[in-house]
């Protein structure tokens, strides 16, 4: 025998609708409202006689425990204060549609099957579906990548879980370099049995992809490498244990530091506006020699260090913002890939790496990096 719901709907055709609690008050609400309407329409179609019609009406419109009353309790009353207005509008829209639907439903014919056509008013506003948008960090990375693509660079990628060899050894980090310490690096557990260079870790920068690419492609090469990296930093407004970098590498015969400067100066103007200036200060990285940190003139205060009478915070009143690390590829690095055409006596190159999250913070005037990774729709919606 077939089991039946109160009004002649085979149980296996139509699961009984019940009002669920919301997980958030925008996307989840829109989806839940849509689901509710579909359920009501389906039930309306299955109403076959007057008894069922009465049951159907009570179930949806009943004052004490009807579905609309439950929606009021579960969606509207529980909504956080700042979402109440928006939720109120949505719930009222939904109630109006359900009411029309239920009141427009007539009992079906004598054959006991659904012949009812629910009264759907097609002039009622539809349900707004929020469409997705690019995350501000990805958007920034894509912009950086496209600046270099226009210069003829191609995109290379590599694994986030990396070996000690690619992350450190082949990049000329000496065995006891502090970056290899657990202070900065997140190591994968249970690797002690492996030879040191094969031990796995979360890459601390995108630079290992320099080596991986040079192993595969002979010179000349020009590549940009966007990707996720990890460092053992406690989260705060400017640090996150997971963040993003965009790396670059150009290798050819006769590449000089002037090429590095010209390329990066162009890229910064393309990213931050043609009036920004660039400025290089000596620095150190094991895999570049010489190395530099590049600064751009502060595009918030125009380089003056002041915003009106106030000190400019993003550049700490210096007029300059540190954007990236760079340098000429160290010959020792080429030695690791010399069998693939990278003879340090014949080729030279430059490399650079920048933090995409930090650039996104500056570009959009966001003051806490954590906001990028909490997945709060109210924050992310502002970039749509």
Distance separating alpha carbons of residues 130 and 110, to the nearest angstrom? 43
351 binds ligand PHE per the rule CB under 6 A? yes
Q: Which is nearer to ligand PHE, 49 or 293 (CB)?
A: 293
Stretch that binds ligand PHE, among 64-72, 263-271, 306-314, 350-358 (CB under 6 A): 350-358
Q: Which is nearer to ligand PHE, 71 or 214 (CB)?
A: 214
Write each residue from 172 to 211 as x if it is in contact with ligand PHE (CB under 6 A), else as -, in one continuous string.
Answer: ---------------------------------x-x----
From the list 173, 185, 176, 189, the residue with the least C-alpha distance to 233 is 185
Stretch that binds ligand PHE, among 11-19, 48-56, 184-192, 323-331 (CB under 6 A): 323-331
Distance separating alpha carbons of residues 30 and 36, to the nearest angstrom? 10
Complete DSSP assignment for 229-263? EE------SS--SEEEEEEEEEEETT--HHHHHHH
Length of the chain in residues, anyone?
Answer: 384
Distance separating alpha carbons of residues 7 and 45, to the nearest angstrom? 11
Residues 246-305 binding ligand PHE (CB under 6 A) are 247, 285, 288
What 8-state DSSP symbol labels residue 379?
A: H
Q: Which is nearer to ligand PHE, 281 or 378 (CB)?
A: 281
The answer to whether the peptide bond before residue 220 is cis (omega within 30 degrees of 0) is: yes
Task: Please count the residues of this chain forming the interface with ligand PHE, following the rule CB under 6 A.
Answer: 11
Residue with tokens 């490498």: 225
Stretch that binds ligand PHE, among 59-67, 190-198, 351-359, 362-370 (CB under 6 A): 351-359
Shortest Cβ distance from residue 41 to ligand PHE (Å)? Answer: 56
36 binds ligand PHE per the rule CB under 6 A? no
Distance separating alpha carbons of residues 268 and 42, to the nearest angstrom? 57
342 binds ligand PHE per the rule CB under 6 A? no
3-class DSSP state for residue 200? Answer: strand
The strand order across the sheet containing 288-297 reads: 154-155, 221-230, 242-252, 348-355, 320-329, 288-297, 278-285
Q: Which is nearer to ligand PHE, 299 or 352 (CB)?
A: 352
Shortest Cβ distance from residue 231 to ligand PHE (Å)? Answer: 9
Among 158, 219, 327, 349, binds ligand PHE (CB under 6 A): 327
Q: Which is nearer to ligand PHE, 245 or 297 (CB)?
A: 245
Among 108, 227, 303, 353, binds ligand PHE (CB under 6 A): 353
Stretch that binds ligand PHE, among 89-97, 126-134, 297-305, 345-353 (CB under 6 A): 345-353
Long-range contacts of 115-120 (CB under 8 A, 24+ apart): 115/48, 116/44, 116/45, 116/46, 116/47, 116/48, 117/45, 118/40, 118/41, 118/44, 118/45, 120/41
Element (H, E) at 40: helix 27-46
Shortest Cβ distance from residue 134 to ligand PHE (Å)? Answer: 24
Shortest Cβ distance from residue 329 to ligand PHE (Å)? Answer: 8
Q: Which is nearer to ligand PHE, 108 or 353 (CB)?
A: 353
Stretch that binds ligand PHE, among 1-9, 108-116, 346-354, 366-374 (CB under 6 A): 346-354
Among 263, 325, 347, 358, binds ligand PHE (CB under 6 A): 325
Q: Which is nearer to ligand PHE, 177 or 194 (CB)?
A: 177
Among 223, 298, 326, 366, binds ligand PHE (CB under 6 A): 326
Is 73 exposed, middle or buried, given 0-12, 13-18 or 19+ CB atoms closer than 10 A? exposed
3-class DSSP state for residue 26? Answer: coil
From the list 105, 135, 106, the residue with the least C-alpha distance to 120 is 105
Shortest Cβ distance from residue 204 to ligand PHE (Å)? Answer: 7
Distance separating alpha carbons of residues 182 and 171, to the nearest angstrom? 18
Could you tell me the end-to-end alpha-carbon distance of the chain, in angstroms, rounded to an integer? 53
Interface contacts to ligand PHE, rule CB under 6 A: 205, 207, 247, 285, 288, 325-327, 351-353
């Amino acid at each position: 025998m077939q089991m039946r719901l109160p009004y002649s709907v085979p149980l296996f055709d139509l699961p009984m609708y019940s009002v669920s609690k919301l997980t958030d008050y925008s996307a989840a609400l829109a989806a839940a409202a849509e689901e509710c309407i579909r359920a009501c329409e389906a039930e309306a179609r299955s109403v076959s006689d007057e008894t069922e019609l009465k049951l159907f009406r009570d179930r949806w419109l009943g004052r004490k425990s009807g579905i609309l009353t439950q929606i009021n309790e579960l969606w509207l009353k529980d909504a956080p204060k700042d979402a109440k207005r928006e939720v109120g509008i949505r719930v009222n829209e939904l109630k109006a549609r359900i009411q029309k639907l239920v009141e427009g439903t007539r009992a079906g014919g004598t054959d006991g099957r659904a012949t009812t056509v629910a009264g759907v008013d097609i002039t009622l506003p539809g349900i707004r579906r929020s469409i997705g948008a690019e995350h501000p960090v990805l958007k920034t990375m894509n912009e950086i990548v496209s600046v270099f693509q226009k210069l003829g660079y191609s995109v290379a990628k590599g694994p986030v879980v990396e070996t000690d060899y690619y992350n450190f050894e082949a990049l000329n980090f000496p065995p006891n370099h502090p970056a290899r310490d657990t202070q900065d690096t997140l190591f994968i557990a249970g690797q002690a049995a492996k030879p040191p260079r094969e031990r796995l870790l979360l890459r601390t920068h995108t630079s290992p992809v320099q080596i991986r690419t040079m192993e595969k492609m002979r010179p000349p090469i020009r590549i940009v490498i966007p990707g996720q990296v990890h460092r053992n930093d406690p989260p705060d407004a400017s640090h996150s244990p997971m963040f993003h970098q965009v790396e670059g590498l150009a290798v050819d015969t006769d590449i000089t530091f002037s090429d590095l400067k010209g390329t990066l100066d162009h890229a910064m103007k393309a990213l931050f506006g043609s009036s920004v200036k660039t400025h290089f200060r000596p620095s150190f990285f094991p895999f570049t020699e010489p190395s530099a940190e590049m600064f751009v003139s502060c595009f918030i205060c125009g380089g003056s260090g002041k915003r009106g009478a106030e000190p400019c915070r993003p550049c700490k009143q210096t007029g300059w913002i540190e954007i990236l690390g760079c340098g000429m590829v160290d010959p020792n690095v080429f030695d690791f890939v010399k069998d693939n055409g990278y003879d340090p006596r014949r080729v030279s190159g430059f490399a650079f790496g920048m933090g995409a999250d930090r650039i996104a913070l500056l570009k959009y005037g966001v003051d806490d990096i954590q906001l990028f990774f909490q997945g709060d729709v109210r924050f992310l919606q502002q970039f749509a």
